[in-house]
Structures are given as C-alpha cells and as structure tokens.
Amino acid sequence: MRTIAFDVETIPDLEYGKKNMNLDGLSDEDIGRSMFFQQLQKKGDEFLPIDLHKIITISCIAEENGIIELKSFTQLEHFINFIKDADQFVTWNGHRFDVPVIAFRTLIEHLVINNKLLDDKHHTDLKAVLSNGNISLISGLDRVSKHLGLPGKTLHSGTVVWDLYLDNKIQEIIQYCEADVLNTYLIYIHHQYTIAEISNDQLREKKETLKSFLSSSEHHHNEFIEKL
C-alpha cells in the first residue's frame, strides 16, 4: 500500500486580487495586505477563503513496501502526478484546509485528481481523528508533536510564510513545510501503533527507516534525526 502524508503552504492568490479586486498596479505586499484587510473587515479575521489561497509548496512523505521518501513540489501538477497511485492519505487538519485547497486549485488548473484524496475511507485527518471530530478541543500540530517528543513546528505561525515569500525565501518555506509533514507522519505511525495496525517493532522500524533516509538525504532536518 502506498501512503502519502502531506502538507500545503499557501499565499494569497495575488493574480485574482489584481484582476478582480481592483488591486492591479500594486506591489505583491500591498495586494496581500489589502486582501487580508478586506477579509478582516468582512469576517473579523484575516484568514482568506479557500478559493483565495494559492499553493506555493506541497511537501509529502511517501511510504510503500518499507521504503520512505520525502518530496516537495512547487507545482501542483507535479504533486498530482506523484500521488496518482496512492492508496491512503494522511494530513493534519486536511479536511478543513489542505484537501479543499488542492481540490479547488485542481479545478481551476484543469487537472485530474486521485479521487481517493476526497474519500474519507482513504484519508486520515489526524486532528479530526485524535479529537473524535471535536477539533476545537485539541491543540495544534506543534504542541501535539511535542507531546510525543518530536521537534514540532519550525516557525511560530503559518502567517510567517507570507513574510518569507515577500523576502523570496522559498527554500525556508519548503523546509518549514517539510518539518510539518515530518511531524504529521510521525504522529500517524504512533497512532497506527495505538490502534494496533502496527506492532511496536514495526513502529521502531519505520522510525529507523525515516532516520536513515534523512541522514543520507539533502533535506537537512537534523532536529528530527536527533529525536528519532
């Protein structure tokens, strides 16, 4: 079985802002600031609707037949091609954000998606599962990761992604996204153990396989290597 744990990072859809929100001629920073402000005025917070999020990177861990790899994509089409044969998907809060964003962007980019991604039988949203659907009652990914002795998030807030984008620090955004998906995957395999899908020996083997991969790769996540 091919399992994909993934995480999405986004920025405001600046092109939409230019064309449809009378923001043409402004800098990226001012377009984003205006979109956030308009949302704040309408809804009381700056979190944009799903359709106004543009994906800038998707990081994922693929696990199949004892082999693990960590990949990042800046083009949605490349990610869609990578997951076309996947059987199971794993996210943190993916039902409410990552999956709807991907579904909408595939719609406007005219891409064909693996429909298992949209099927609850093939998608484990850990935030929903661990809270029994009461997601407001559980902490975020950072704290839950730290409960398991994992590094947690490398940035304090996803809003920092926008600042990094404005500074053209795309590689730092990718590193942040990869750290999130590493935390997500490691929570997932601990969850698999607690529901008896894998044994303690298999859990240890999965962690060792990931540690070996990270130690020999160019992804440079030493904080995870030290914890595994």
> One digit per residue, pLDDT tens: the chain, 228 residues?
999 999 999 999 999 999 999 999 999 999 999 999 999 999 999 999 999 999 999 999 999 999 999 999 999 999 999 999 999 999 999 999 999 999 999 999 999 999 999 999 999 999 999 999 999 999 999 999 999 999 999 876 657 999 999 999 999 999 999 999 999 999 999 999 999 999 999 999 999 999 999 999 887 799 999 999
What per-residue confidence (pLDDT) applies to 36? 97
**58, 71 contact by CB (below 8 A):** no
Tokens for 34, please give them: 């205006």
Please check whether the domain covering 3-227 is classified as CATH 1.10.1740.110: no
What per-residue confidence (pLDDT) applies to 155? 78
Q: Which of 118, 99, 127, 134 is closest to 187 using CA atoms?
A: 127
Helix axes of 170-194 and 200-215: crossing angle, nearest 10 degrees: 160
pTM of the predicted structure, to 2 decimals:
0.96
